[in-house]
Structure 1
């Protein structure tokens, strides 16, 4: 993912933001018919995972 991070940084993102964006891209889950509360819980877990990736 180093090349992807480098590319995003050349577009003006800092390293932490670029890393977070890539992590979210891999973890983003959208399924039709998923109950709203379950989708919300998944989104919260993705947010926590992306924050940990920048530490």
Structure 2
């Protein structure tokens, strides 16, 4: 992976394909991610909540 290759699309794909299903299997109902950007648009805050019910088997 090259510098700049990690973008929102890459992160969301990893969340939806791997992390969310694993969390749902472990019994979690939601997954919340919070962050503050430290480069580029410094200080930009992210607060993202993903409902895991669609990933439950």
More helix by share: 1
More strand by share: 2
TM range, smaller chain: 0.3 to 0.5
- TM-score scaled by length of structure 2: 0.33
Higher relative contact order (CA 8 A, sep 6+): 1
- TM-score scaled by length of structure 1: 0.34
